[in-house]
Amino acid sequence: MALVCLDLDIDTSTPDGQMIMRQHANLAQWQAERIAQYSVETVQRHAEQGRPIGPPPVGYKLVRNGTGHASYAIDSKYKSHVETIDRLYLEFESSDRVVLELHKKGFKSRRGKTYTKSQVTRILQNIRYTGKQEYDGNIYQGNWPAIRSTEAQNKIEAIFKRNRRTNHTQNVLIKKKYVYLLQGLLKCPKCSSSMMPKPGTGGRKKKQYYPYYLCVKADKTKGIDCDTNYVPAEAIDRAVIEFIRKLRLDNETIEKVIGRANRATSGRINAIDKDLKRVKESLHQIRIKISNVVDVLADKGVSQLKPLKEKLEHLSQEEQELIREEKRLEQEISAEKRQAGSAHEQIQTLHLFNDLYAMNRDHSERLKMLMPRFIKYVICHFTDKEKGIGRLELGLFGRPFAGSENAEIWNETLKKLAEQCNKQLIADWRKEHANGNGRKRKAAPTGVPSEPCLHRDDSAAGVVLSPANEFIPGYQMG
């Protein structure tokens, strides 16, 4: 195979063409490396000159000094925030306590939101507040005024170092590393933010590991913007899996959910279709007007060129806008139609999930990779948190493997996995009930549907609710 470029007179099928190609490649690599080197040298020079590197932190604003170089000027409003954070941290020696005190005083960030622990930590550890900056392991004096003294910065760093040594002791042995199956899927019932893994340890003699989920917003704001509710991970993961496995046997519920979802999809399609008809009618009228303008221009000649040209440009612009709107609405209708599913598809998907779970019940990492293919989100609504009584809300995908170039490969792979699983289940059943042990025989396990689902859309096929006041086993753990 050879590359022939007529513009550059390159033909890699010849020795001369190969030589020219290598020269072009070497020149391009040299240019890229030279640009990278120049960028590093420029940043180094700015640091040595005391010019700031990067955007201004809270408490400063970017300005130009008398020589036209960039510098920081003090923002009086947020300077008081930084000084208050420094004073509170030196007093309480806790970032969490600083966040709570800032909330009590009504302090908000530049975006008008509650200060989070990570924001407070960055402010406390940023040496640019001392009028200096760090680059490539070296400290350089800056050309802006300081808000924090060097002595205060050293005290803050010493407290951080002491807290890290205290809170992250090397003697805690975590005997169990838990795989959080619903990580990225579990949502907070109050603020709809994701719930993150937040393990804890307990016990006087032996440090026991307890896996929990906690709302991201609650963790960042220390319970200010959302309640700090810890959800035991093992209990909620097990409850969700068992609920899905039981759901595959409840065809009536599946049909109701899919019917409700399809009715909602149908309503959205009808609304979009009305908008599409309106746009098409407007587009038809615009094209008639354009045709009339062209006819008038042909009849009256050059004398009417200027006013008609302006009108024609205006009509052409409206036409292009309507064409874009038409395409957008057609794409929305197509997407809504793809979301419409059937109860049969959902039942197939649930059977597939059950078989894949049976194959991988001892491989948590595999289960964690599979979960997002079947579940869009999980919300746990508790009516009695102490007893673990509440309701699960699940957004399920009816078509797990959609929109992928490898959909056919997934299909064949899943077929083989399902067949292997069924063969193993039947073999185990026969082994268990061989030789007539006198006990009443159970029916042999049945296989999954022969055609696993191929497609998955970004929207859930349906939202499923568990029965009201369902007990979540093991919720009282920890």
Residue 350 has pLDDT above 90, yes or no: no
- Answer yes or no: are the C-beta atoms of 210 and 217 closer than 8 Å: no
Cross-strand partners of 63: 71
- Answer yes or no: are the C-beta atoms of 147 and 74 closer than 8 Å: yes
Q: Which pLDDT score, from 0 to 100, does residue 256 have?
A: 67
Q: Which of 133, 154, 135 is nearest to 143 (CA)?
A: 133
Helix (H, G, I), strand (E, B) or coil at 65: coil
Ranking 151-165, 277-291, 306-320, 447-461 by mean pLDDT, the lowest is 447-461
Residue type at 402? Answer: A
Distance, in Å, from the CA atom of 321 to the CA atom of 165, rounded to the nearest integer, reads 62
Q: Which of 283, 470, 295, 293 is nearest to 388 (CA)?
A: 470
Query: pLDDT higher for 441 or 375?
Result: 375
* pTM across the whole model: 0.57
Average confidence score pLDDT of the chain: 77
- Where do the domains of the chain lie? 4-41, 60-167, 179-217+228-259+341-478, 260-339
Strand order in the sheet with 231-232: 195-197, 212-215, 231-232
Residue 213 has pLDDT above 80, yes or no: yes
Residue type at 325? Answer: E
Residue 12 has pLDDT above 70, yes or no: yes
Distance, in Å, from the CA atom of 473 to the CA atom of 173, rounded to the nearest integer, reads 27
Residue 439 has pLDDT above 60, yes or no: no
What is the arithmetic mean of pLDDT over 411-428?
Answer: 61
**pLDDT tens, 240-273?**
888 888 877 666 666 666 566 666 667 777 888 8
Residue 299 has pLDDT above 90, yes or no: no
Q: How confident is the model at residue 332 (pLDDT cuts 50, 70, 90)?
A: confident
**pLDDT tens, 113-133?**
899 989 999 999 999 999 999
User: With DSSP H G I counted as helix, E B as strand and the rest as coil, what are the percentages for the chain, rounded to 5?
Assistant: 55, 15, 30
Q: How confident is the model at residue 340 (pLDDT cuts 50, 70, 90)?
A: low
**pLDDT tens, 368-400?**
888 888 888 898 887 776 766 778 888 877 655
Ranking 65-79, 234-248, 265-279, 343-357 by mean pLDDT, the lowest is 343-357
SS3 string, 337-352, reads HHHCCCHHHHHHHHHH
Q: Which pLDDT score, from 0 to 100, does residue 30 have?
A: 94
Determine what percent of the chain is predicted with pLDDT higher than 90. 25
Q: DSSP string covering 340-405, please? A: ---HHHHHHHHHHHHHHHHHHTT-HHHHHHHHHHHEEEEEEEEEETTTTEEEEEEEE-SSSS-S-T
Fold of 60-167: Hect, E3 ligase catalytic domain fold (3.90.1750)
Cross-strand partners of 108: 114
What is the arithmetic mean of pLDDT over 273-288?
Answer: 85
Alpha helices in 185-340 (DSSP H): 216-221, 233-247, 251-300, 305-339
Chain-centroid distance of CA 159 in Å reads 34
Query: pLDDT higher for 315 or 412?
Result: 315
What is the arithmetic mean of pLDDT over 161-166?
Answer: 81
**pLDDT tens, 95-111?**
989 999 999 999 999 88
Q: How confident is the model at residue 63 (pLDDT cuts 50, 70, 90)?
A: very high
Please provide the size of the chain in residues. Answer: 478
Q: Which pLDDT score, from 0 to 100, does residue 155 have?
A: 94
Query: pLDDT higher for 202 or 214?
Result: 214
What is the arithmetic mean of pLDDT over 433-462?
Answer: 46
Cα torsion through 233, 237, 238, 244, rounded to 10: 160
Chain-centroid distance of CA 200 in Å reads 25
Q: Which pLDDT score, from 0 to 100, does residue 164 have?
A: 81
Residue 477 has pLDDT above 80, yes or no: no
How many CB atoms lie under 10 A from the CB of residue 81? 21
What is the arithmetic mean of pLDDT over 207-228?
Answer: 86
Q: Which of 332, 335, 351 is nearest to 343 (CA)?
A: 351
Query: pLDDT higher for 388 or 445?
Result: 388
Q: Which pLDDT score, from 0 to 100, does residue 324 have?
A: 85
Q: How confident is the model at residue 290 (pLDDT cuts 50, 70, 90)?
A: confident
Q: If you average pLDDT over each of 62-71, 284-293, 326-335, 338-347, which comes out highest?
A: 62-71
Ranking 41-45, 47-51, 316-320 by mean pLDDT, the lowest is 316-320
Q: Which two tokens stand for residue 476?
A: 């009282």
